[in-house]
Amino acid sequence: MTRRIPHVGLLAGLLLSAAVLPAVAQEMPTATVTAVLESAPVDRDPDDPAIWINPADPAKSRVIGTDKDYGLVVFDLDGNIVQRLPDGRLNNVDVRQDVALDGGTVTLVAASRRDDNTIALYTVDKDGVLAHAAPFTFPGSPVEIRYDIYGIGLYRNPASGETSVIANFKTGDIVQWVVGGTPEKLELTLARQFKVETQPEGVVADDALGLLYVGEEDGGVWRYQADPKAPADGVQVDLVGSRCLPADDVEGLGIYASGETSGYLVVSAQGMNRFVLYPRQPDAEGRQTCIGSFHIGTGATDPVGETDGIEVVSSGLGEKFPRGLMVVQDDRNEGFTRNFKYVSWADVEAALKLPTN
């Protein structure tokens, strides 16, 4: 179930805002940020990144990117390729550390595999090296959905360590599976299935707040309770056509958690070549009103166009990324190549004058 903002009410509200507070509509902070560095080009077609944080040495963390006609490509924080996994048409990817299982914990990477509409799972060792989990793939849905598996995300309950995989399909179907079993033999148990009206892709869980966000490419951004046992009542955070998301597609989503409840939901707005920020914590009425946006311009790298998948973490990852790292796919790069750009979150904070406490 999803709850759309009534269009007539929306219209009236927006018109009222435009009439009474025209400055508000024009003052959404918009900034230009430059990337610190860029990854090596990806051979085919990169889409979505995830970030594995090395707890022993954050500067040796890894960026895991999909090359959606090839598999996964793993980069270090200088953008060098350190591992290639030719595992098929992997579209999106996510990672969670300290996933509780019978007999221990693992770091888990999940990717949506379009070859056979499966969820591909990997484990990550202490040095950031990925290996196929056992089993490697699971059906993405309990009953075959013919139109491609697409986005994927992981949610880890911080209290229990229980983790679930959320996969979505081009049909709009969203399927959440709880991860169980042992580190040697994983199991996925169907938890719930729901739907958005049109094609989704981006999905991200705010673990600490227990919220799950889904991006409907032509529709907007939806918020759900992340608990796999919770009813799937969706609340529309924003819709394509609003002042914050004037153009489709909604693509990747990320959570920058600066405190228990503070920080941002970051939305990749492809048609604007821009990233839009919303507060993590909904207000008393459940609203999350956008607070600014930025695009990545020319600096140490070329600009970022046709933005797609993103990931962002707030942990300091060495001198280059002292207040966190945002990684974004870049669809157009020198020599007609594609890659990932690495952005220091400190630069985003400075450009948008965000509080840093």
Partner 1 sequence: MTMREVDLLNCRRLPRAAVLAACLFAVTPSLASAQELTDAEKAISNVVTLGEAADAPTEWLGPTPHFVMVGEFGDYTFAINIKDPAKTENFKLEGKREYRKGEKGLDYIDFEIAVDLITNGIERGLEIEFENANFAAHPVPSTFALQDKEFPAGLFSNMELQVEWEWVEKSFIVNDEKLYSDGQLTVALEDAKPEADGTAPNGMIGGFVTGTMDGKKIAISFTAPVTEAEIDD
Could you list the beta-strand ranges (E) of 270-351: 274-279, 292-297, 310-313, 325-333, 337-344
| Residue 197 lies near partner 1 (rule: CB under 8 A) | no
Count of residues near partner 1 by CB under 8 A:
42
DSSP 3-state assignment of 133?
strand
Pick from 305, 300, 309: nearest CA to 344 = 300
Contact 121, 137 (CB under 8 A): yes
Pick from 159, 223, 228: nearest CA to 190 = 228
User: Looking at 188, 257, 272, 354, which residue binds partner 1 (CB under 8 A)?
Assistant: 272
Q: Which residue has the tokens 């902070």?
A: 29
| Residue 241 lies near partner 1 (rule: CB under 8 A) | yes
User: Looking at 28, 40, 81, 352, which residue binds partner 1 (CB under 8 A)?
Assistant: 28
Pick from 246, 216, 219, 222: nearest CA to 236 = 222
Contact 196, 214 (CB under 8 A): yes
Residues 325-354 that bind partner 1 (CB under 8 A): 331-332, 334-336
| Residue 187 lies near partner 1 (rule: CB under 8 A) | no
User: Looking at 45, 76, 187, 302, which residue binds partner 1 (CB under 8 A)?
Assistant: 302
Contact 309, 329 (CB under 8 A): yes
User: Looking at 279, 297, 316, 318, which residue binds partner 1 (CB under 8 A)?
Assistant: 297
| Residue 242 lies near partner 1 (rule: CB under 8 A) | yes
Pick from 349, 243, 294, 348: nearest CA to 31 = 294
Residues 104-123 that bind partner 1 (CB under 8 A): 114, 117
User: Looking at 21, 27, 55, 78, which residue binds partner 1 (CB under 8 A)?
Assistant: 27
- The CA angle 328-225-136, to the nearest 5 degrees, is 60
| Residue 148 lies near partner 1 (rule: CB under 8 A) | yes
| Residue 238 lies near partner 1 (rule: CB under 8 A) | no
User: Looking at 78, 102, 104, 147, which residue binds partner 1 (CB under 8 A)?
Assistant: 147
| Residue 273 lies near partner 1 (rule: CB under 8 A) | yes
Q: Which residues of this protein are in contact with partner 1, per CB under 8 A?
A: 7-8, 10-11, 14-15, 18, 25-28, 30, 32, 114, 117, 146-148, 218, 239-243, 246-248, 271-273, 295, 297-298, 302-303, 305-306, 331-332, 334-336
